[in-house]
């Protein structure tokens, strides 16, 4: 899961060159962090990687400010670190459905998926349409994006109770998907919705967790029992 979101200035204060940013990322790369990405964090990607720590990326993003055109340039480099930075500086007001489709198809690890969802896709007016569409995807990371985005919307108070209830329906429908990055995102979304202040959502999420926990399917049981443990812990 992504860490707590940082504040980014509304707009870039001055022009920034994409090549200069890529060079800065390269200078800040760490072979150890690059190795840890896969060995410790399970972030395996086929893209070129410098190994820039997330804290460093956030600092660069804060300095750079929102810049949609620059974000697109950074994404086009195909470099993992540059794409991570792109998700931190793109303005949710400028993102389009077509762009979201292009970017999500390039994603091949949970880190880039969760960062995009948690940092700015959840504030896009297109979020719930993409949750609905991507939840049916056969691609593991596109489907993860659906539930990571649902979790991010719940955590950041985006969306109505009705949209969240629909999200629970999607979780129930897909709770048997055993793929690691899908089931963990669906579970994250279930726990996030169940942790909201709305009594209706809390009750509905807990009811779904209990239903899943008693399933004869191992993945559904895992989803339900893990969520029930989280709810019980949060209620103490």
91's tokens? 């303005």
What is the pLDDT averaged over residues 193-207? 94
Q: Cα–Cα distance between 228 and 226 in angstroms, integer? A: 5
Average pLDDT over residues 44-54: 95
Please state the domain extents for the chain: 1-91, 125-236
The pLDDT of residue 6: 46
Mean pLDDT of the chain: 93
Give the pLDDT confidence score for residue 211 in this predicted structure.
98
Interhelix angle 161-174/180-194, rounded to 10 degrees, is 150
Q: What is the value of pTM for the model shown?
A: 0.91
Residue 24 gets the label, from left (phi > 0), alpha (psi -120 to 50) or beta, of: alpha
Confidence of residue 3 (pLDDT cuts 50, 70, 90): very low
**Structure-token pair, residue 153:** 């919307």
**Whether the Cβ atoms of residue 82 and residue 25 lie closer than 8 Å to each other:** yes
CATH 3.30.360.10, applies to 125-236? no
Mean pLDDT of 205-228: 98
pLDDT in the model for residue 236 = 57
Token pair recorded at residue 125? 């007016």
Q: Classify 197 as helix, strand or coil.
A: coil
Cα 142 to Cα 110: distance, rounded to the nearest angstrom: 10
Looking at residue 197, what is its pLDDT?
85
User: What value does the mean pLDDT take over residues 160-183?
Assistant: 97
């Amino acid at each position: 899961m992504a860490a707590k979101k940082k504040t980014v200035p509304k707009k870039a204060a001055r022009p920034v060159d994409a090549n200069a940013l890529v060079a800065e990322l390269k200078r800040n790369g760490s072979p150890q962090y690059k190795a840890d990405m896969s060995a410790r964090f399970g972030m395996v990607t086929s893209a070129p990687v410098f190994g820039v720590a997330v804290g460093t990326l956030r600092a660069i993003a804060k300095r750079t400010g929102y810049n949609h055109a620059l974000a697109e340039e950074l994404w086009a480099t195909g470099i993992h670190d540059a794409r991570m930075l792109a998700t931190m500086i793109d303005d949710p007001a400028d993102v389009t459905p077509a762009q979201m489709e292009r970017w999500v198809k390039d994603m091949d690890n949970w880190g880039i998926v969760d960062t995009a969802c948690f940092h700015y896709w959840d504030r896009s007016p297109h979020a719930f349409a993409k949750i609905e569409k991507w939840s049916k995807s056969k691609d593991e990371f596109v489907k993860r994006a659906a539930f990571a985005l649902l979790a991010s919307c719940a955590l950041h108070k985006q969306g109505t109770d009705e949209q969240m209830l629909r999200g629970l329906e999607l979780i129930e429908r897909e709770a048997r998907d055993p793929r690691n990055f899908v089931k963990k995102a669906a579970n994250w979304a279930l726990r996030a919705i169940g942790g909201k202040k709305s009594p209706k959502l809390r009750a509905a999420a807990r009811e779904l967790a209990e239903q899943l926990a008693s399933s004869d399917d191992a993945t559904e049981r895992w989803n339900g029992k893990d969520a029930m443990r989280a709810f019980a812990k949060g209620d103490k």
